[in-house]
A and B are shown apart, each in its own frame.
Chain A
């Protein structure tokens, strides 16, 4: 067995170099990686800790929008009053991951790149139209969040690349978001279905922009453009909500497993999308 090494680079470029070898694994909060290491599911020869890189941990405001370091823990996100005010749905998604202890470590970058179809941190980020800044051997690129995960446990990142930060667009007045998931108990479980909704309203309460993303009902979280489009142009009346629900259900491609049947997941995704839209609408108008 090759000897394991631990590296904690301080610059993104150094991290990209350390991640260039095929046996390397990036480490953010470690709440997935350490479990996989222990179970023998991954056998890296180098672990590259991203948390010492400037910008990888913490939340900052830039050009009117927020930048979230990809390795920032859920607990830190939940304590950031400005982020919670602007993007309550992103924060509630992140804060649904695991226990208080897990919240002290688990990050949105790790949640995304672990590639679980049911990752609670991801749908609200997609609905927010957030982008990822990726650093790698060929420099930096910025891509939409939904382009990262390509299937369960699989990402579009090439060897040496990692997600440094998430960038959120500037927030106009009367805008908000929400994330809801269904689990069969009250706490600490994996989503049967999850929906993030992001809305912008005009002064009269008419929806001008709407984005809907769904989780745990397809091999990856999905942006459902038709569902967002169904909400635009009016207030959240029943016809619009029903059209959005239908669009969400049409986009679902779930599996049946011990958490729920494909039929149940599809039905629930529609219900959650309606509820999340109403919460986001309420928040945006407040």
Chain B
């Protein structure tokens, strides 16, 4: 099968890989670039476990073909902690025990960061709607929402400080 050479930026660093035309971005990240943070839950865009940012937009990487990201900017969960320092959302997920099995966590963190980058002061209802595309079968969501709202409050304080 003829493969396509893809040049892209992943978490700020240039990255290139070979993709078969029908390969998803999720498979490229996991199998070609060794970035296994994004998970495949459903493979049909229903669960959000594969959430990544593509040119600044939250997307399901299972619904993007790898060749589509030529020249694009991809950000994954692996780029969230900076220099060993957890992102406030990651820290709050730990403090609030907002995970059990952890399979949905990378997707939820990426989606929650996208929310807070776009809307630093969301209401709880807004946060729940924004994250409705991220399924969690362990927590019942309440702890996740508490962690997100708490992180949002901290980040707002950080900004004004």
Contacts and interface: CB of A to CB of B under 8 A. Distances in A.
A37 B62 CA distance: 12
Contacts of B132: 99-100, 187-188
A49 interface: yes
A58 interface: no
Contacts of B21: 3-6, 47
A188 B4 contact: no
Interface string A65-81: 00000000101000000
B68 A34 contact: no
Query: How many interface residues does chain B have, given as a range?
Result: 20 to 34
Nearest to A27: B65
Query: How many interface residues does chain A have, given as a range?
Result: 20 to 34
Contact of A30 (B1, B4, B68): B68
Q: Report which residue of A30, A38, A99 has the largest number of chain B beta carbons within 10 angstroms of its beta carbon.
A: A99
A38 B134 CA distance: 20
A101 B45 contact: yes
B22 A37 contact: yes
A101 B60 contact: yes
A104 B133 CA distance: 12
Interface string A87-116: 000000000001111101100000000000
Contacts of B62: 34
Nearest to B19: A6
Contacts of B48: 99, 101
Contacts of B1: 3-4
A29 B24 CA distance: 13
A104 B57 contact: yes
Contacts, number: 90
Contacts of B54: 104
A174 interface: no
A31 interface: yes
A8 B43 CA distance: 23
B146 to A, nearest CB: 20
Nearest to B59: A104
Contacts of A170: none
Interface string B123-134: 000000111111
Interface string A246-278: 000000000000000000000000000000000
B64 interface: yes
Given A4-B20, A100-B133, A105 B63 contact: yes
A8 B21 CA distance: 11
Contact of A101 (B4, B59, B65): B59
Nearest to B20: A4
Contacts of A100: 58, 111, 114-115, 130-133
A278 to B, nearest CB: 24
B45 A102 contact: yes
A47 B65 contact: yes
B37 interface: no
Interface in B48-62: 48, 51, 54, 57-60, 62
B58 A104 contact: yes
B58 A51 contact: no
A54 interface: no
B129 A187 contact: yes
Nearest to A45: B21
A35 interface: yes
A3 B54 CA distance: 27
Contacts of B100: none
B2 interface: yes
Given A34-B44, A101-B133, 13 more contacts: A3-B2, A4-B21, A6-B21, A6-B67, A27-B68, A29-B63, A49-B65, A49-B67, A51-B68, A73-B57, A99-B48, A99-B132, A101-B51
11 contacts: A5-B21, A6-B22, A30-B63, A30-B68, A34-B45, A34-B63, A38-B44, A47-B22, A98-B45, A100-B115, A100-B132
